[in-house]
């Protein structure tokens, strides 16, 4: 692979032929503002926010421009700053970006850049085209196109990551808008509700239906764990609110899933907070379950198992472990059956 | 999996057999779809149902349920007959080829097409030629290979094919079973199996017994392999097993022949169930312990590619809801054991001391590194690809295998083939997904999926409630009419207790590994209303 040496903001860096300026810059710790670009998706150069100055003259979109030897890249100067501010201003004029009513408030790339570049509300009277709001047809995904900046990340995420090709952009110019399948509502389309489009949306145009706890984005805590469902072992970021309730999940980039999730990994966790969960040990007395304390339940079980072992031998007892439990728990369960009970009657649902 | 998920882009093509990947392992399904749809890689699909991947396949074989071995033999017959197999790999790294070749002689495309119910026998030839061109081809399978009385032979057949093609030990190749539960790999690795200690060390050995007795500071352990899940139920039914301790399983919903399972549990003198819900199984218990759900606990889980990953506590459990390991330890102590684990980390330290394939793994390492077992030392990077230089046993052994029909064949009384499985929105016995709003709303009830021809024969319309019966039982369920299975094959997902598929399934087992034949039995369909 041909190595290419160039300078970014005066620092000498190397990239590989075929890489874009954006890619080399990111690898070397430079942040270039961007909205339509995402490292996991194909490049379109749509938003132009990532423009950089090349060899002190021309401006190019860094997300699509390949690196060339001895290139001098400036990621930001006064000229670029004012263009970025102007571009952001245009985006704001085109839509209805009122953060007060937006679920993405505090977790919005557009909002972050607007604050960084101190963009103010336009005083000009711009004809705003009312676009579609669909909060009802899907129980998983909400869509408000007045907040859409037409970056096309959702379209590419659906095509390149989930590979369902549900989202598409339709019509041209200021009439451009998002459609599902052949112009259906999202809830009536072939959408499988993986939520990948929402994860990749840089604004609040696509958001999740609130099915779990709620809370402002800046109050949410994040912790990763492994999905409970199939054997892929997707790594998931779980977001919880101040009350300790689960709010949403996002695919973690470092897992075997590479950031992706399916509908179960996205929406399959309210069961943890279900009021039907067991909360106390139960002992069946005269055919009815009764809540008891831990000591009573544990003593009773130990005594019954000991008695069965004594009377009928260790092989009269059998244990089922679980593919839903951790390695540690499975280990302890088989150790219990083998060393405490004295039988190898231990299995789990591997064959089911 | 012999190989890894991140090698999917390195495959030149894929054979997906007995796996509805986009519904049951959707993230891997999307990765394969991306290679095929967006990067024009080749795809061959073998499945009785026209699953989503079949739409993108270069060749799709809608085989009769239970005929995997026949079609795999058919592919191999062509590869050998036309000299397309990887001679170098076979000669250097494998043994048993001559016997395999002899057995395969009769599996001509026409013979196989007849067994499998394939219209065009020449497709088998074309697909086999394509497989030989794909360097490497990855083979993916799931329960559509294993859940048969011939499950073990099905698995061996997939290995035969990939060895014949020389696709073993190379990046982007391999035999890749997709495991159905998030830690089924780990549960097996940890010895939650009747015949093996952790790391698959056999229990039927005095030497191994002595080793584990020393490690666990105990005496009087057994060298007699224990009962498998289905055998436990049979033994309970017969009165030989008196007490059971069930942690995080719901056999009433997930085992075949539900009526038999319920009778077995009722025969027990004592049943303990440890779970997060009062499941269908827990209702038969004498004692029920409330356990933590997965995001309420710490520990590790091992995925389908043998990758050991950390699980973290996201939510705080309620006061009287306890960790599974803690509950087991409390009982063990009351029965005389001196266990004193304070946290999962203590248990993991003991695991790596007795599990050679995990010996080099630590909590700290898996936070920072991607580690797949075997990982024998702290310096070892883990193993991305198995069988790279040699196979575990030295040479790869071809096993000559003949096709054997399923246990139940259709007859006049039960003329329709029933196959069962999971769907995208639900999981196993439904305990989790049916308590999750979006999933439950999206698919609120069970259905029997049938071909329009069958619907027309039985005068059934879409959404109509019908009766489906087998020799084990009968359920009422809504008909869903679509061209997915072939005529005379119906599919029922097993997640729904109201229309429980496992009231119908047959409890015959593979003689070696005791897996039940969930994927094929004979049923009849009856219209309920006039």
From the CA of B299, how many Å to the nearest CA of chain A? Answer: 6
Nearest of A312, A315, A332 to residue B274 by alpha carbon: A332
- The pLDDT of residue B530: 59
Q: Is residue B268 situated within a structural domain?
A: yes
pLDDT for residue B466 is more than 90: yes
A257 touching chain B per CB within 8 A: yes
pLDDT for residue B342 is more than 80: yes
Q: What CATH code is carried by the domain that includes residue B31?
A: 3.40.228.10
Q: Please indicate, yes or no, whether residues B255 and B330 belong to a single structural domain of this protein.
A: no
* Domain end (from B241, B264, B283): B283
Burial class (CB in 10 A: 0-12, 13-18, 19+), A105: middle
Residue of chain B whose alpha carbon sits nearest to that of A164: B30
Q: Is residue B373 situated within a structural domain?
A: yes
Nearby residues of A69 by Cβ (< 8 Å), 6 or more positions away? A4, A5, A6
Q: Please indicate, yes or no, whether residues B452 and B332 belong to a single structural domain of this protein.
A: no
Work out how many domains chain B is built from and give that number: 4
* Domain end (from B178, B206, B236): B178
Q: Is residue B383 situated within a structural domain?
A: no
Contact (CB<8Å) A330/B344: no
Q: Please indicate, yes or no, whether residues B12 and B109 belong to a single structural domain of this protein.
A: yes
Q: Is the peptide bond before B64 cis (omega within 30 degrees of 0)?
A: no
Contact (CB<8Å) A304/B186: no
Q: What CATH code is carried by the domain that includes residue B334?
A: 3.40.50.740
- The pLDDT of residue B168: 96
B194-215 tens-digit pLDDT? 999 999 999 999 999 999 999 9
Nearest of B236, B185, B351 to residue A308 by alpha carbon: B236
* Domain end (from B114, B143, B178): B178
- The pLDDT of residue A30: 97
Q: Please indicate, yes or no, whether residues B368 and B470 belong to a single structural domain of this protein.
A: no
Q: What is the mean pLDDT of residues B466-472?
A: 95
Q: Please indicate, yes or no, whether residues B76 and B210 belong to a single structural domain of this protein.
A: no
- Beta-ladder partners of A238: A223, A249
Q: Please indicate, yes or no, whether residues B363 and B340 belong to a single structural domain of this protein.
A: yes
- The pLDDT of residue A121: 81
Q: Is residue B277 situated within a structural domain?
A: yes
Q: What is the mean pLDDT of residues B111-124?
A: 96
Q: Please indicate, yes or no, whether residues B236 and B311 belong to a single structural domain of this protein.
A: no
Percent of chain A as helix, strand, coil, to the nearest 5? 30, 20, 50
A313 touching chain B per CB within 8 A: no
Q: What is the 3-state secondary structure (H, E, C) of B23-42?
A: HHCHHHHHHHHHHHHHCCCE
Q: Please indicate, yes or no, whether residues B209 and B340 belong to a single structural domain of this protein.
A: yes
Distance CA A312, CA A32 (A): 73
Q: Is residue B243 situated within a structural domain?
A: yes
Q: Tell me which chain A residues have a C-beta less than 8 angstroms from the C-beta of B242.
A: 308, 312, 316-317
Distance CA A236, CA B131 (A): 36
In this complex, which of B249, B329, B435 lies closest to A332 when CB atoms are compared? B329
Distance CA B4, CA B172 (A): 8
Q: Is residue B371 situated within a structural domain?
A: yes
From the CA of B334, how many Å to the nearest CA of chain A? Answer: 6
Q: Please indicate, yes or no, whether residues B298 and B237 belong to a single structural domain of this protein.
A: no
Q: What is the mean pLDDT of residues B124-134?
A: 97
- Residue B57: domain span: 5-178
Nearest of B194, B199, B195 to residue B215 by alpha carbon: B199
* CB atoms near residue B175 (< 10 Å): 24
Residue-by-residue pLDDT tens, chain A, 352 positions: 789 999 999 999 999 999 999 999 999 999 999 999 999 999 999 999 999 999 999 999 999 999 999 999 999 999 999 999 999 999 998 888 999 999 999 999 999 999 999 998 877 777 777 889 999 999 999 999 999 999 999 999 999 999 999 999 999 888 889 999 999 999 999 999 999 999 999 999 999 998 788 899 999 999 999 999 999 999 999 999 999 999 999 999 999 999 999 999 999 999 999 999 999 999 999 999 999 999 999 999 999 999 999 999 999 999 999 999 999 999 999 999 999 999 999 999 877 7
In this complex, which of A240, A257, A348 lies closest to B187 when CB atoms are compared? A348
Contact (CB<8Å) B242/A299: no
pLDDT for residue B353 is more than 70: yes
From the CA of A310, how many Å to the nearest CA of chain B? Answer: 12
- The pLDDT of residue B357: 96
Q: Please indicate, yes or no, whether residues B448 and B467 belong to a single structural domain of this protein.
A: yes
Q: What is the mean pLDDT of residues B253-258?
A: 87
Q: Please indicate, yes or no, whether residues B28 and B170 belong to a single structural domain of this protein.
A: yes
Q: What is the mean pLDDT of residues B458-469?
A: 96
Q: Please indicate, yes or no, whether residues B203 and B268 belong to a single structural domain of this protein.
A: no
- The pLDDT of residue A125: 75
- The pLDDT of residue A252: 96
Question: What are the distances in angstroms from CA A40 to CA A156, A158, A225, B4?
Answer: 10, 12, 22, 20
* Domains parsed from chain A with CATH numbers: 3-76 (3.10.20.740), 220-277 (2.20.25.90), 283-351 (no CATH)
Res. B529 pLDDT band, cuts 50 70 90? confident
Residue of chain A whose alpha carbon sits nearest to that of B146: A351
Q: What is the mean pLDDT of chain B?
A: 95
pLDDT for residue B135 is more than 90: yes
- Beta-ladder partners of B524: B469
């Amino acid at each position: 692979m041909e190595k290419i040496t160039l300078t970014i903001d005066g620092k000498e860096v190397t990239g590989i032929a075929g890489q874009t300026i954006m890619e080399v810059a990111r690898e070397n710790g430079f942040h270039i503002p961007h909205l339509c670009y995402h490292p996991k998706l194909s490049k379109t150069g749509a938003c132009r926010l990532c423009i950089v100055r090349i060899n002190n003259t021309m401006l190019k979109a860094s997300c699509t421009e390949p690196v060339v030897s001895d290139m001098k890249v400036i990621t930001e100067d006064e000229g670029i700053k004012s263009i970025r501010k102007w571009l952001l201003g245009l985006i704001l004029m085109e839509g209805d970006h009122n953060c007060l009513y937006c679920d993405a408030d505090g977790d919005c790339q557009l909002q972050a850049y607007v604050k960084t570049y101190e963009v103010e509300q336009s005083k000009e009277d711009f004809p705003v085209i009312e676009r579609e709001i669909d909060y009802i047809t899907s129980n998983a995904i909400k869509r408000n196109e007045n907040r859409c900046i037409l970056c096309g990340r959702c379209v590419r995420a659906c095509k390149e990551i989930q590979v369902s090709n549900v989202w598409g952009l339709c019509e041209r110019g200021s009439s451009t808008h998002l459609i599902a399948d052949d112009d259906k509502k999202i809830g009536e389309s072939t959408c499988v509700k993986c939520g990948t489009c929402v994860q990749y949306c840089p604004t609040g145009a696509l958001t999740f239906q609130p099915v779990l706890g709620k809370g402002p984005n800046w109050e949410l805590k994040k912790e990763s764990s492994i999905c409970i469902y199939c054997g892929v072992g997707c790594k998931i970021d779980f977001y919880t609110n101040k009350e300790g309730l689960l709010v949403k999940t996002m695919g973690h980039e470092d897992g075997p899933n590479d950031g992706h999730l399916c509908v179960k990994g996205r929406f399959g966790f309210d069961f943890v907070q279900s009021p039907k969960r067991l909360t106390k040990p139960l002992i069946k007395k005269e055919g009815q379950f009764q809540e008891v304390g831990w000591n009573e339940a544990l003593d009773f079980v130990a005594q019954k198992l000991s008695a069965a072992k004594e009377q009928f031998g260790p092989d009269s007892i059998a244990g089922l472990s679980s593919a839903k439990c951790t390695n540690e728990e499975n280990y302890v369960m088989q150790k219990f059956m083998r060393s405490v009970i004295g039988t190898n009657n231990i299995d789990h649902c591997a064959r089911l | 999996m012999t190989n890894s998920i991140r090698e999917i882009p390195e495959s030149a093509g894929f054979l997906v057999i007995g796996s509805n990947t986009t519904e049951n392992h959707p993230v891997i399904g999307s990765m394969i779809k991306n290679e095929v749809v967006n990067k024009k890689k080749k795809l061959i699909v073998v499945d009785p149902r026209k699953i989503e991947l079949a739409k993108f396949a270069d060749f799709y074989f809608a085989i009769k349920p239970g005929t995997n071995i026949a079609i795999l033999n058919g592919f191999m017959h062509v590869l050998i007959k036309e000299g397309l197999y990887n001679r170098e790999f076979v000669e250097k790294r494998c043994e048993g080829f001559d016997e395999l070749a002899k057995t395969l002689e009769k599996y001509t495309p026409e013979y196989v097409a007849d067994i499998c119910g394939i219209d065009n026998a020449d497709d088998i030839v074309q697909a086999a030629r394509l497989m030989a061109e794909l360097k490497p081809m990855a083979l993916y399978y799931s329960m559509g290979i294993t859940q048969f009385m011939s499950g073990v032979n099905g698995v061996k057949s997939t290995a035969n094919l990939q060895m014949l093609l020389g696709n073993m030990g190379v990046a982007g190749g391999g035999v890749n079973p997709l495991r159905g539960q998030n830690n089924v790999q780990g549960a097996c690795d940890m010895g939650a199996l009747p015949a093996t200690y952790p790391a698959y060390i056999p229990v039927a050995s005095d030497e191994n017994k002595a080793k584990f007795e020393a490690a666990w500071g105990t005496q009087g352990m057994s060298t007699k392999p224990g009962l498998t899940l289905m055998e436990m139920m049979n033994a309970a039914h017969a009165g030989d097993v008196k007490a059971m301790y069930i942690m995080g399983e719901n056999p009433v919903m997930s085992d075949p022949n539900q009526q038999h399972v319920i009778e077995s549990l009722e025969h027990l003198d004592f049943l303990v169930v440890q779970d997060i819900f009062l499941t269908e199984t827990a209702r038969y218990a004498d004692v029920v312990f409330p356990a933590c759900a997965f995001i309420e606990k710490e520990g590790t889980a091992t995925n389908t590619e043998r990758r050991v990953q950390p699980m973290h506590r996201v939510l705080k459990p309620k006061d009287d809801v306890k960790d599974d390991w803690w509950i087991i330890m409390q009982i063990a102590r009351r029965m005389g054991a001196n266990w004193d684990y304070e946290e999962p980390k203590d248990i993991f330290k003991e695991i790596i001391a007795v599990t050679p394939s995990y010996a080099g793994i630590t909590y700290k390492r898996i936070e920072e590194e991607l580690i797949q077992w075997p990982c024998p030392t702290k310096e070892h990077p883990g193993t991305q690809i198995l069988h790279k230089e040699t196979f575990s046993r030295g040479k790869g052994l071809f096993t000559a295998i003949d096709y054997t029909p399923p246990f139940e064949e259709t007859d006049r009384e039960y003329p329709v083939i029933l196959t069962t499985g999971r769907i995208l929105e639900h999981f196993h016995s439904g305990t989790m997904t049916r308590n999750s709003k979006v999933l439950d709303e999206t698919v609120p009830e069970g259905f029997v999926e049938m071909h329009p021809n069958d619907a027309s024969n039985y005068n059934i319309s879409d959404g109509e409630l019908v009766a489906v019966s087998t020799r084990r039982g009968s359920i009422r369920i809504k008909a869903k009419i679509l061209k997915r299975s072939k005529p005379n094959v119906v599919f029922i997902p097993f997640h729904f207790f109201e229309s429980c598929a496992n009231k119908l399934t047959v409890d015959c087992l593979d003689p070696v590994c005791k897996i039940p034949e969930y994927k094929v039995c004979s049923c009849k369909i009856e219209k309920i209303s006039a």
